[in-house]
Amino acid sequence: MTTTAPAARPSSATARLHDPSVRGFASDNYSGVHPEVLAALAAANGGHQVSYGEDDYTARLQEVMEEHFGSGIECFPVFNGTGANVLSLQSLLPRWGAVVCASTAHINMDENGAPERIGGMKLLQVPTADGKLTPELIDREAWGFGDEHRAQPLAVSITQTTELGTCYTPDEVRAIADHAHSKGMKLHMDGARLANAAAHLGVPLRAFTRDAGVDILSFGGTKNGLLYGEVVVALNPEAAHGLVFLRKMNMQLASKMRFLSAQFIALLEGDLWLRSAEHANAMAARLRAAVETIDGVRPTQKTESNGVFAILPPGVADRLRESFRFYDWDEAAREVRWMCSFDTSEADIDDFVAAIRRELAAHSAGAAT
C-alpha cells in the first residue's frame, strides 16, 4: 500500500507572548537562543537521520570535541545540566561511593537532591568562602577509607566557574586532581559555564580540564546560547563506567539526538563559544566597574566570569526588581546575584546601573527624613 504525507494546512502567524525589550539579570539561561545556533538547528532539520545518536551530527560532534580535548575521549549528549552531573558522578562511583563538593555547589544546592535521590550517592559538603575547593579543604571530608560505617569518599566535584563566579586556574585544578588521584579518588568538573572560564583565563578548554587531570566533564551549553542540552565528556574513559547504559537509565537519551549535537557543533566548530562567553564576561566587568563607584553597593566576590555579587541596603533589591529581575543569593545578608548573557548589551548595563543609582538615591533620601 502506498502512503503519502498529509497535506500541509495553512498556518497562521504565531503570536509572541512576551515583550522582547524586557531585560533581566537573574540568569544567563533567561536569554534566547543565539541566531547561529537557531540556523544550525534549521540546517539539521529535514530528511531522516538514525535516532538515539547514530546520526551524522553526533558523529561530527565527537570529532569536534576531540579537536578541543584530544583523541580518546567519549561524548554523551544529554538534555540538561542536572542530568549531566548525575550521570557523570554515577559513572565514577560504586554504589557505596560519596562525592566531596563545596557546600555552594550546584549539585548540593540547586538540584533538589537529584545526585542523592536519583544517583544514589552521598554528598560530603565543605564550606568555602569563594566557592573553590583546595586539597586542604577536600581533606576535611576525604577520610574514613575502608570504614564500613562511612560512605566512601571516592570522587571530588568542582565547578568551573564556581557558583560564586570565581574561576579555578589550571594549576589549581591540577593540584586538586593530583591530590584526589593520590587518594584513589576521581575528579568531576561541572562545566555549566566552562566557556566563561576559558574566556577569563585566556587558555584553551583542555588546559584546565583534560590537561589538568579532570576525569569527566559536564560541558554546559544552555547558559552560552543554546536552546537546550549539555554533553558529558569522559576525558579519561577508564575512570568512567557504564555511561551508555546510565544515560538511558537516567532518562537522558534523546531520540532525535541530531538536534542536541547540531547545537554543540555550531557552538564549538568555530569560535562562537568563545565570542559569546567573552561578551558575557565583558558585560559583567562593565557592571562591576560601574557599581564599584556607587555608594551603598558592596561587591562580595571577584568578578571572574559573567556574574556580579553584591550587598544592597534594605529594600533596594525589591524595588529594583520591579524593573529588572534578579535573584537574592543570601537573603539574610542582603546579597544579590546579577548575571549577564551573550545578548546583554552595553545599553542594558547602563540602564540597570542608572536604576540602581536612582533607587539608592531614593533610599538615602528616605533615610535622611
Residue 99, domain extent: 35-268
In a domain, 21, yes or no: no
Query: Is 29 a member of any domain?
Result: no
Q: Is residue 146 part of a domain?
A: yes
Would you state the pLDDT for residue 335?
A: 97
CATH of the domain at 296: 3.90.1150.10
Which one of 234, 268, 302 terminates a domain?
268
pLDDT of residue 367: 74
Instruction: Write out pLDDT tens, residues 307-366.
Output: 999 999 999 999 999 999 999 999 999 999 999 999 999 999 999 999 999 999 999 887
Question: Residue 93 in contact with residue 155, Cβ under 8 Å?
Answer: yes
Do both 255 and 299 map to the same domain?
no
> What is the Cα–Cα distance from 276 to 279, expressed in whole angstroms?
5
Residues 212 and 336 in one domain: no
Closest by alpha carbon to 111, among 84, 71, 131?
84
For residues 97 and 172, state if they share a domain: yes
Do 324 and 247 fall within a single domain?
A: no
Using the CB atoms, write b or e for 122-136: b if 16+ within 10 Å: bbbbbebebbbbebe
C-beta of residue 80 within 8 angstroms of C-beta of residue 250 = no
What mean pLDDT do residues 75-100 have?
Answer: 98
Q: Can you tell me the distance from the alpha carbon of 272 to that of 285, in angstroms, rounded to the nearest whole number?
A: 20
- pLDDT reading at 6 higher than 70: no
In the predicted model, what is the mean pLDDT of the chain? 95
- Please tell me the distance from the alpha carbon of residue 164 to that of residue 81, in angstroms, as a whole number: 17
DSSP notation for 188-238: EEEETTHHHHHHHHTS-GGGGTTTTT--EEEEE-GGGT-SS-EEEEESSGG
Is residue 368 in a domain?
no
247 lies in some domain: yes
180 plus 298 within the same structural domain: no
Q: Please tell me the total count of domains within the chain.
A: 2
Among 220, 241, 268, where does a domain finish? Answer: 268
Do residues 287 and 260 both lie within one domain? no
Whole-Å CA distances, 344 to 151, 181, 271, 276, 289: 44, 40, 18, 10, 16
Are 48 and 190 in the same domain? yes
Q: What is the pLDDT of residue 16?
A: 87
151 Cβ neighbours under 8 A, 6+ residues apart: 96, 97, 98, 121, 122, 124
In this structure, the answer to whether residues 182 and 295 fall within a common structural domain is: no
pTM comes to 0.94
Classified as helix, coil or strand, 22 is coil
- Same domain (yes/no): 174, 53: yes
* Domain identity same for 354 and 219: no
Residues 234 and 66: their CA atoms lie apart, in Å, by 11
Domain boundary, last residue among 268, 283, 309: 268
Q: Are residues 254 and 169 in the same domain?
A: yes
Residue 10 scores a pLDDT above 80? no
Q: Which of 360, 205, 172, 365 is nearest to 274 (CA)?
A: 205
Within-domain flag for 15? no
CB 210 within 8 Å of CB 70: yes
Q: At what angle do helices 346-368 and 272-291 cross, to 10 degrees?
A: 20
Which CATH number belongs to the domain containing residue 113 in this structure?
3.40.640.10
Cell of 107: 549539585
Same domain? For 52 and 181 the reply is: yes
Residue 321 sits at the vertex; the CA angle it makes with 320 and 326, to the nearest 5 degrees, is 110
